[in-house]
């Protein structure tokens, strides 16, 4: 449905959306706006960008919103937008974690589709009833596990599902960072503040922030069913209220085993998300910091370097690629791919047709799986590190 | 002037622009549109997207243009837009090379700013008078040597100009590709067709297409004055009308020496633009395919890996960065940086102030320098490979 | 004590040694001989290279041994060499694991120093009394955890012990291979045969073969005291008698946490031993497959690439380096470094002086620690994956 | 002829050799001794290790030579060794360049085989008559272009000669270093002193020292016939008597083109020798600093990473490999491969048979080709940078 030779779509297909959170001083809101804008599939028309009314209005007007569509509360926004003929079709939720579910519920009730940052909730309990609500309202619900939008990740998933690796044996996934190696939350840095605050982040610190990304990526590519986890969480920085290092052993229902490491106290690591998947017939390695290369090692043959846009890729990867190989696409393009997938689905829904089979994005099921993972890891670690079922 | 914590600007600052070329079947047009859109600094409102009127209209409408602003010719577009109160402030030229100057002239005459793809012209002769015209019309003129928009390239330039490398000695720059290793132009592939056609590409094939990028990058970072070149051009693919491999020796006025290699017949290379700059006190290495790292080797000390957004960067790099280190930005973000720089300059001009000192983008001077390089290389090679002055 | 500008020592210091195992068809024996030869510190003068007398003689003569010093059994060799004035000073044991201790005991009884391949024994129980015996006989005992001989590993250890990383927090060590992804032991391949045979390898397969290397390396560099482990061992290849994948969580007495992964079923990995050590003030990363680089990331500063022989190294690394930086030294040179260290100690003992403080090689203590690790991992895994003390 | 499963040969095949140069304070002498020793194919029995008799004796005795075979001059050594029944079979010449030919002549006259460091001579003129002399005396003559001993370089050569790359088009070779970025020769550093002294190094500085290595490697792998060169030499460090940066364009008789860059003033480069070869059907890339990987890019397919000892290698590479893939072999092993090749040839000559077809090492022909290159480059550069024939 895109314009020939581009990922842009005809103007008639653009989605009107609003944003909750993401005003002045926020970080991830701007990322979502770029992601929405990149392929020209969305128009931002409303916002409750801050919980302070004046700040919300100021931020919204700066971004080009009509003043009357800059709302002081998300409840007001849901209500008023739902009643407009030109009201938003979807809401993007980019608040701290504890507001994800409350905000989503209000918009779902109003019949508005939801695109929500991860993790889905502050805790597993909150998510009860969410799927039923979305279903009852015929609303789409996307959770932005954005790393699943990288083209080579799509290709890796395709290779696994086509059986090119044979039965999987070992999954190694890791996501180390270093930005919380010191007690940054005491300096007034806003991102550090809420992400280490149990009231706003939920029970997991590093776990919820990036451990869930690693978990989702491993599941997305492998297609395996996580069965049980054993976790050892640590708060290395003195006085920190949530974990800053996550060690997890994984067992999958199909017999594969895995390790997951997430850390925010590993100096020299920026966003070193890395996935390795090994099966009977070959292995795959991918690193987020250089996402345009996928190393594919068929057993007994020299490894191949698959590149985004290069030879040997499946349509699953090609369709989410904009520019020639060797011209790196990065984090924002991968993020935009999710937005573009959601736009395809929203347009199909608008037209009363289903989206094409190739459209794919993480939704409530994946969001809840992530919360189930968080919950099991917390229970395992609190029990001293024991095997804990994910079911 | 950007919104706090983002590279977005207030809606009031958005630039109205039109595009010449870039309709169905084109490649670089979509790149320019994304680049313009990324930081939300531009609105596309008009186009002569194709030289066929019907195709131009169809492409324009799909992109959301009003039908009456989808023009059948660039001359008509210049005339009509210049007469509208809400007419375009800038035109983006993304045609084959031979139309760059003719189109630019028409819009400059109409007092409309120009953003032109590289190389500036089909040959050096065409560029005569262009600076005078732009100046007479008080028009800005940007040439999208987009690699100069990468943040770490800005940082490298800053380091050199601050003297951190000492006097420069050796510049090695290369831009190998492999996509023209076979006679792709005979298969109907449009990009290959016009880029190997002297009538549309000008006298340089690989030379104009990517050799000029390499040359500009070397000059941009080093700040050196090219003095003479010695070139050995080859068309390796039988029957090809333009060069597909470029070997050049460089001498700079300041005493430094360099090598430039560009090739479109080097299998295994996608867009492997790479710059290395060596001075008395240290060396810098950067590769476009992994642009988020700059290797800095102070003489006698261990090399450092500088990363986009990471510690130790100058403001010159920081201001063109959107997201945290370790989340790769790529080709589109670097391209967008040029657009955002131009937007800053256009807004300043609109406001009657000069742009801030830090705003920087390649303009007519750089575009003409590129054509002077092409001209000298062609003369050198045609003479059998002799030293040829660039002045 | 080396010849100026080299790692060679005067001829008078060469050590006379014999070898048990390592005859025709063996692998690691030749590696030990090269390692002994590299710096010209040893002369091979005797051998029980095979348990078949004729084969032992044939192998020995080919290597240049006098026929009467090619023994049919290690017992005979120990007895006869001990009684010669020019008898061997040290024995090198390169048999399958189950013979390490029996052979060592015989030579220790004869007052001959021992250089033994790892792991020290087939099981922990075997090692009882070995330290007392060696001590009673005033014999040196080296265990060839050869990765501790790499110069940059010495440097890393030195940095940690000097406090440059601050208190350590996280240790990630891994050693994946792929050569046992299929049932190679059924094809007659000798290395695969004995390494997967509990009777010869002991209770650990991948665990004993390479897991112990990873464990030793982590301890050697970090200087930490392992306290408890939790392990999940798997035999992925059907019918295999020993583990081929090892997942271990580590807790250290000082509060640091770690993960250890060893695998022989990870396609695309040859000998991808990799160590990462993170402390309060910085992180270190090293990979055996490119061992001439150590990445050092001081917190808040750009990472540095330390190179073997390059600027910024301590004497601990410099003294084990032979050639200029950029000329790679590899596995054999690292292995030779252990041999050269042992030679220094043996010469010092011969002279009745202690070795210089900088001489360092793994000995019985490290060998027993490795067996304690194997034992605890086996017990943990057999119990279903529970925390198990290493003490 | 090697012992099964190793590169060692039976003791009866060891070559008795002597060394000229390489005493105290030298560098490359120790490298040659290790290379000779590594596979146990040689025994050092005589030396004129220094031009000072006392120093020569002291160095020789330390290395284990009999005092009467530590000579005060190479002339005496040649004469006396030639008259001994157990005299040396080969001499290794590791003096500064200006002595290579004089020493070689004396030993050839005495009927002793020669292994000579590169470049072969101080200038082209010196080499006249050398081939005739060696031939008349039935002496082998090896020139240690050691990089041709790396297994993957052998594999690359084999691939090219088998036509896997199709007709070659472009050769890019470079060898940057940084150790002479300052005027090290003024500090008393011996290596810097003689290598920048025209009286001892000959007419080329960086050119002779490493430029010849790069040239040989390009020719060895490509099999092409160099036809003409165009050179721009520079001495960047003030007061330096010889070139420290070498820029050369190459044209080959078969139509291929190339660039060669050698530098000793490029900070951040240790011994960054790198070769890239591109043909109609694919490209090869290899870097000396990580020599265990060869990147092979068949046109239109994903690049493969070939590894030393890994899958897909020819016998040409396998036979020069000692240890499993992933255990890096380095500079000394590559150097040793040349020695082992020469030993095979010497044993074959001793036995009156020719060496096996696979034995290969650079000899006088390659040494003279290197001097012809040096000569042409010097003439080209002195003429201001003009095309100069190599024939």
Nearest to C141 by CA among C182, C170, C107: C107
How big is chain A by its Cα radius of gyration, in Å? 21
pLDDT digits (tens, 9 = 90+) for A103-160: 999 999 999 999 999 999 999 999 999 999 999 999 999 999 999 999 999 999 999 9
Q: How far is A296 from chain D (nearest CA, A)?
A: 9
Angle subtended at Cα D369 by Cα D368 and Cα D370, rounded to the nearest 5 degrees: 85
Question: Would the pLDDT of B391 be above 90?
Answer: no
Mean pLDDT (whole number) for D302-319: 94
**pLDDT score at D340:** 97
| Yes or no, beta carbons of C302 and B302 under 8 Å apart | no
Residue C149's pLDDT band, with cuts at 50, 70 and 90, is: very high
Neighbours of D206 (CB within 10 A): 29
Question: Would the pLDDT of D235 be above 90?
Answer: yes
CA atoms within 13 A on the CB side of B118: 33
Query: Is residue A297 within 8 Å of residue C267, measured between CB atoms?
Result: yes
Query: Most A CBs within 10 Å: which of D283, D299, D303, as the mutation test of the A interface?
Result: D303
Query: Is residue B268 within 8 Å of residue B181, measured between CB atoms?
Result: no
pTM: 0.97
Which residues of chain A lie closer than 8 angstroms to C384, CB-CB? 387
Which chains neighbour B (Cβ–Cβ under 8 Å, 3 or more pairs)? A, C, D
- Which residues, at least 6 apart from C336, have a Cβ–Cβ distance to it below 8 Å? C34, C35, C36, C38, C39, C149
What is the 3-class SS of C208-268, one letter each residue? HHHHHHHHHHHHHHHCCCEEEEEEEEECCCCCCCCCCEEEEEEEECCCCEEEEEEECCCCC
Task: For strands B274-279 and B168-176, give the pairing.
Answer: antiparallel
Mean pLDDT (whole number) for D353-366: 91
Provide the H-helix boundaries in D28-176. 28-38, 53-62, 74-83, 100-109, 130-136, 151-161
The strand ranges marked E within D269-342 are: 274-279, 282-287, 293-298, 304-307
- What are the beta bridge partners of residue D263? D176, D245
Question: Would the pLDDT of A4 be above 80?
Answer: no
- Residue at token pair 């201790």: C101
Grouping H, G, I as helix, E, B as strand and the rest as coil, residue C147 is helix
Question: Would the pLDDT of D4 be above 80?
Answer: no
Query: Is residue A266 within 8 Å of residue C168, measured between CB atoms?
Result: no
* Closest residue on chain B to A30 (Cα): B6
Query: Mean of the per-residue pLDDT values for chain D?
Result: 96
Nearest to A324 by CA among B100, D284, B98, B210: B210
| Yes or no, beta carbons of A178 and C283 under 8 Å apart | yes
Residue B241's pLDDT band, with cuts at 50, 70 and 90, is: very high
Q: How far is C166 from chain D (nearest CA, A)?
A: 28
Which residues of chain B lie closer than 8 angstroms to A25, CB-CB? 4-5
- For residue C70, what are its two tokens? 């090619």
- What is the full DSSP assignment across D156-208? HHHHHHTTTT-SEEEEEEEEE--TTSS-GGGGT-HHHHHHT-HHHH-S-SHII
Residue A363's pLDDT band, with cuts at 50, 70 and 90, is: very high
**pLDDT score at C2:** 67
| Yes or no, beta carbons of D301 and A307 under 8 Å apart | no
Q: Using CB atoms, which residue from B302, B306, B311 is nearest to C300?
A: B311
CA atoms within 13 A on the CB side of B311: 16
Mean pLDDT (whole number) for A218-229: 97
Helix D212-222 and helix D151-161, axial crossing angle in degrees, nearest 10: 50
Which residues of chain A lie closer than 8 angstroms to C261, CB-CB? 172, 259
Helix C28-38 and helix C331-350, axial crossing angle in degrees, nearest 10: 60
Which residues of chain A lie closer than 8 angstroms to D306, CB-CB? 302
- Which residues, at least 6 apart from C145, have a Cβ–Cβ distance to it below 8 Å? C118, C212, C213, C216, C217, C220, C338, C362, C366, C370
Which residues of chain B lie closer than 8 angstroms to A4, CB-CB? 24-25
Q: C262-297 burial string, b = 16+ CB within 10 Å, else e?
A: bbbbbbbbbbbbbbbbbbbbbbbbbbbbebbbbbbb
Question: Would the pLDDT of D1 be above 60?
Answer: no
pLDDT digits (tens, 9 = 90+) for B56-73: 999 999 999 999 999 999
Question: Would the pLDDT of A329 be above 80?
Answer: yes
- For residue C230, what are its two tokens? 């939790």
- For residue C122, what are its two tokens? 């087939």
Alpha-carbon gap, residue B180 to B99, rounded angstroms: 23
End-to-end CA distance of chain A: 39
| Yes or no, beta carbons of C310 and B300 under 8 Å apart | no
- Residue at token pair 């029970």: A203
Neighbours of A272 (CB within 10 A): 17
The strand ranges marked E within A139-221 are: 141-143, 168-176
Question: Would the pLDDT of D344 be above 90?
Answer: yes
Neighbours of A178 (CB within 10 A): 24
Alpha-carbon gap, residue A343 to A36, rounded angstroms: 9
**pLDDT score at A322:** 93
What is the 3-class SS of D149-162, one letter each residue? HCHHHHHHHHHHHC
**pLDDT score at B116:** 98
Grouping H, G, I as helix, E, B as strand and the rest as coil, residue D30 is helix
Alpha-carbon gap, residue A245 to B367, rounded angstroms: 51
pLDDT digits (tens, 9 = 90+) for A374-385: 999 999 999 999
| Yes or no, beta carbons of B329 and A330 under 8 Å apart | yes
**pLDDT score at A2:** 66
**pLDDT score at B9:** 86
Mean pLDDT (whole number) for D213-228: 97
Query: Is residue B63 within 8 Å of residue B44, measured between CB atoms?
Result: yes
Grouping H, G, I as helix, E, B as strand and the rest as coil, residue C123 is coil
CA atoms A85, A89, A91, A92: torsion sign: negative
Query: Mean of the per-residue pLDDT values for chain A?
Result: 95
- Which residues, at least 6 apart from D180, have a Cβ–Cβ distance to it below 8 Å? D192, D196, D206, D237, D240, D244, D264, D265
Helix B364-382 and helix B212-222, axial crossing angle in degrees, nearest 10: 120
Nearest to D36 by CA among D91, D81, D80, D99: D91
Q: How far is C304 from chain B (nearest CA, A)?
A: 4
**pLDDT score at B6:** 79
pLDDT digits (tens, 9 = 90+) for C243-263: 999 999 999 999 999 999 999
Question: Would the pLDDT of D24 be above 80?
Answer: no
Residue D10's pLDDT band, with cuts at 50, 70 and 90, is: confident
Mean pLDDT (whole number) for B282-306: 98
Mean pLDDT (whole number) for B223-239: 97
Q: Using CB atoms, which residue from A10, A11, A31 is nearest to B323?
A: A31
Q: How far is D227 from chain C (nearest CA, A)?
A: 31
Which chains neighbour D (Cβ–Cβ under 8 Å, 3 or more pairs)? A, B, C
**pLDDT score at D2:** 67
Mean pLDDT (whole number) for B160-166: 98
**pLDDT score at C51:** 86
Which residues of chain A lie closer than 8 angstroms to D304, CB-CB? 302-305
CA atoms C373, C379, C382, C383: torsion sign: negative
* Closest residue on chain C to D305 (Cα): C268
| Yes or no, beta carbons of C182 and A297 under 8 Å apart | no
| Yes or no, beta carbons of C5 and D11 under 8 Å apart | no
Query: Is residue C324 within 8 Å of residue C310, measured between CB atoms?
Result: no
Q: How far is A15 from chain B (nearest CA, A)?
A: 13
Question: Would the pLDDT of B2 be above 70?
Answer: no
pLDDT digits (tens, 9 = 90+) for C269-308: 999 999 999 999 999 999 999 999 999 999 999 999 999 9
Mean pLDDT (whole number) for A82-106: 97
Q: Using CB atoms, which residue from C10, C288, C326 is nearest to D270?
A: C326
Q: What is the largest CA-CA distance in chain D?
A: 64
Query: Mean of the per-residue pLDDT values for chain B?
Result: 96
């Amino acid at each position: 449905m895109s314009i020939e030779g581009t990922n842009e779509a005809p103007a008639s297909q653009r989605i009107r959306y609003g944003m909750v959170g993401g005003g002045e001083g926020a970080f991830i809101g701007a990322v979502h706006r770029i992601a929405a804008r990149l392929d020209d599939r969305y128009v931002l028309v409303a916002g409750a960008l801050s919980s302070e009314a004046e700040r919300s209005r100021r931020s919204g007007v700066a971004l080009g919103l009509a003043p009357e569509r800059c709302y002081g509360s998300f409840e007001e926004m849901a209500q008023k937008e739902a009643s407009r003929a030109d009201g938003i079709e979807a809401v993007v939720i980019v608040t701290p974690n504890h507001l994800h579910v409350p905000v989503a519920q209000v918009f779902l009730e109003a019949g508005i589709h939801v695109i929500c940052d991860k993790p889905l909730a502050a805790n597993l309990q909150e998510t009860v009833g969410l799927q039923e609500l979305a279903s009852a309202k015929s609303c789409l619900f996307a959770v932005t596990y954005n790393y699943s939008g990288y083209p080579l990740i799509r290709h890796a998933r395709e290779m696994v599902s086509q059986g090119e690796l044979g039965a999987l044996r070992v999954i190694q996934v890791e996501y180390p960072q270093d930005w919380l190696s010191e007690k940054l939350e005491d300096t007034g840095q806003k991102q550090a503040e809420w992400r280490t605050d149990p009231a706003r982040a939920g029970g997991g610190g590093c776990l919820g922030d990036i451990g869930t990304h690693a978990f989702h990526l491993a599941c997305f590519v492998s297609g395996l069913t996580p069965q049980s986890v054993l976790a050892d969480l640590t708060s290395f920085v003195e006085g920190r209220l949530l974990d800053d290092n996550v060690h997890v052993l994984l067992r999958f229902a199909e017999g594969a085993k895995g390790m997951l490491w997430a850390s925010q106290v590993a100096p020299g690591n920026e966003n070193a998300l890395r996935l390795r998947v090994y099966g009977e017939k070959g292995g795959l390695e991918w690193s987020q910091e250089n996402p345009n290369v996928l190393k594919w090692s068929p057993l007994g043959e020299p490894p191949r370097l698959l590149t985004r846009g290069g030879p040997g890729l499946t349509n699953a990867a090609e369709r989410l690629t904009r520019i020639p190989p060797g011209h790196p696409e990065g984090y924002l393009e991968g993020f935009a791919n999710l937005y573009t997938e959601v736009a395809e689905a929203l347009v199909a829904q608008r037209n009363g047709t289903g989206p094409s089979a190739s459209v794919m994005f993480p939704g409530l099921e994946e969001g809840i799986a992530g919360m189930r993972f968080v919950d099991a890891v917390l229970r395992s670690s609190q029990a001293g590190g024991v095997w804990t079922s994910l079911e």
